[in-house]
Structure 1
Amino acid sequence: MQRTVWQKFLLAIVLVSGFVLVAGCGTTTSSSSHAPSPTISLFSFPTSSQSPQRLLSGPDGNLWFLEVDTHKIARLTPSGKISEFSLANADLSLSTLVVGPDHNLWLNEGLQGKIARITPAGEIKEFALSNRFDGPRFPTAGPDGNLWFPVSPHKIARVTSAGVISEFLLPGKNMGDEPSSLVVGPDGNLWGLELEGNSVDRISMNGSISVFPIPSIGAGPDNLLVGSDGNLWFTETNTGKIGRMTPGGSLSEFATSNEDGEPDHLLVGPDHNLWFIEMELKKFERITPAGQIREFVDEDAASVLEPPIAGSDGNLWFIQSDSHQRGQIGRLTPTGKFSVFSMPTANGQPSDLLLGPDGNLWFAENGTGKIGRITPGGSITEFGIASTGSSFTSLLFAPNHTLWFFQKGASKIGSLTLPS
């Protein structure tokens, strides 16, 4: 199945007018656990928003995010004070907010051919591409101190901190291609993938572009990252293969056991190998830097609902459901041993699994009005946030270790702080 690299990242604004409540430690799967009581706050949005998502830690110690439906950028202080800044008439539905090398925030306006710069004080300035119909995507901080971003169709662009934009045409015949997001390679260049062009691209800081064709036709390259071995790795979702590209331009492919398996969600594991998943087959696979692949099948899961993340304990953690569609958290060791942990509250559906600064994993529990925490040993504690039926999304730890999240469909943002 072919996949587009267009990704919609909606981020939301909040203006605080809220109420604070202190909650108890909740329930836990370990009766001997006596977690300290957290401080939990919920703040109502002054302007109703149906699309709050994806918070970002800013360079100023505040949180920043977007409200797509009101065309605003928001700044949230650790104490809960929120300021909003209008980006009039901007379509933010395909926008990504990032921190630039200049310590400002930058935003692509994907449907209007512009890049916007936002200072910590909230001053906004827009810079236009040569064609207003071009679609800038996924800004990435380059090693040269500039921001780089792919542009649909068929370009790579660079913007300086002063807003000077340079555009570079991708070589090749696929003029309608949608370039992928870019990653910084170990060689000091930027690297990207072309889906329709079926290639790996290297972009130097002077704008010269080298294209390396993928041997397998219609490979569907995706999930580009830098491995622990200093090479670039990616999945081939249409051929059931994993690709490896050296900084010098040597490309190798490694076949999985199923050419129709659609490998996805590539990540570097705590064991320094690469891991990926075939979610429909409930199959986790490990590939070493030398290209040796081993697979592990989660026999106890009816389905894997979210891809794995690396835990602080050297294991992989993920969210699955059982045969009765009950949400569970799974753990996979590097040797292939699976463990499953069920929710203490009936019908709790975990989501948004996140590694916390305390070494535990945190998650939203949809439908129960709770946020959960699971230790590396598998002990789960639930913290009541809102009434039953409430759900949360976009979990993010701020620099002060406070956990922030949006309450779905309620125009609210919440925070959870454990005593130090």
Structure 2
Amino acid sequence: MQVYLVGGAVRDHLLGYPYHEKDYVVVGATPDQLLALGYQPVGKDFPVFLHPESKDEYALARTERKSGQGYHGFEFHTDPNVTLEEDLIRRDLTINAIAMDHNGNIYDPYSGQQDLKNKVLRHVSNAFIEDPLRVLRIARFAARYKAIGFTVAPETLILMQQLTESGELNALTPERVWKETSRALMEKHADEYFEVLRTCGALKVLFPEIDALYGIPQRPEYHPEIDCGIHTMMSVQQACAANYSLEVRFAVLLHDLGKALTPKSELPRHIMHEERGIQLVINVCDRLKVPTNTKQLALSVCKEHLKCHQALQLKPGTLWRLLQRLDVLRRPERVEAFIQACECDARGRLGLENRDYPQAKFMLDAMKIVRQIKAQDLPIEIRGPEIGELLIKKRIDALTQFKKQTEIEPNCSNS
């Protein structure tokens, strides 16, 4: 029985890139042998075991054969006679088909180290085309390693295009698409994930609402980058650079979907694009089974981002109602996330990436002011419905006073 560290841990070890998970492949063993050593079985499709102490995953060396459609359409064969080379050839990329034994010896039958050196994401074999999930994985790796210069090999992009055109992407479950997309959004260059998907045609299949933004013009005085798709990716990159949460990054991704529905006669203006985008955001979230909190923030940003840009000019009552819709009293963290997303929108514009956004501090200060006014501070004789009415009045009065003390000129467009 021989044990090898494989996959991402070896790849990132050789790159000097941080990693946390370790996966192992076991050659020359049977399930009974691992069970006798105390390993715990967890695999459903093929034998995978957890180490009795470290809980790392150990999979028996295996081969696979395409037997159906989609990610699960495979038959797996494990046997003590399956070699390390046979196991590694079924993997997606050459840089993921490298193994290392316990002495640190490297086994690289498919030139993965050369592709690491050349910074190329290249498929191991033509069996790549059998698994539609690999389109998303390669796009995610492109996002992860963009900062150090990695690109997708042209011949691999061709296979990704063929996979897209085959209709296999439709067999991916919403859960798998969301898992890969959410992981990609948390990379430093999440925009590259969507750019690679667009290059191979997968964006139009999996995210048609985002793909539709490309080629839609905006007013150049507010959006020097002009193209709505480019603006969306620039805004996403702002969220990545600021290391914002997944919820913020996803909300930024969807904030302008309504611009794809603007009548051509109104272009390059986008009147009412917030309202037009609401159903599109719902469609994306429901299709991917996005978590509720993530969906709610995305909807709030889609509906209200122009109000945030206009915050310095809003009347106190309008400002209060905006904060109220954002659930300021129960969910201050959502208000903060909303502001972060709106700031990314404001800065996701060509040449304006470092612009000031005083609306952020203004909104945060306004949030603190209204949250400081509580029912227990009201006169004791106030009862029933009068409590709510007086609280609203006091909060609006406090915002009125706050606005009088705030003399900041706005610098953000209403688009």
What TM-score range do you get, normalising by the shorter chain? under 0.3
When the two structures are superposed, what TM-score results if normalisation uses the length of structure 1? 0.26
From the two aligned structures, give the one with the greater helix fraction.
2
When the two structures are superposed, what TM-score results if normalisation uses the length of structure 2? 0.26
If asked which structure has higher relative contact order (CA below 8 Å, sep 6+), I would say: 1
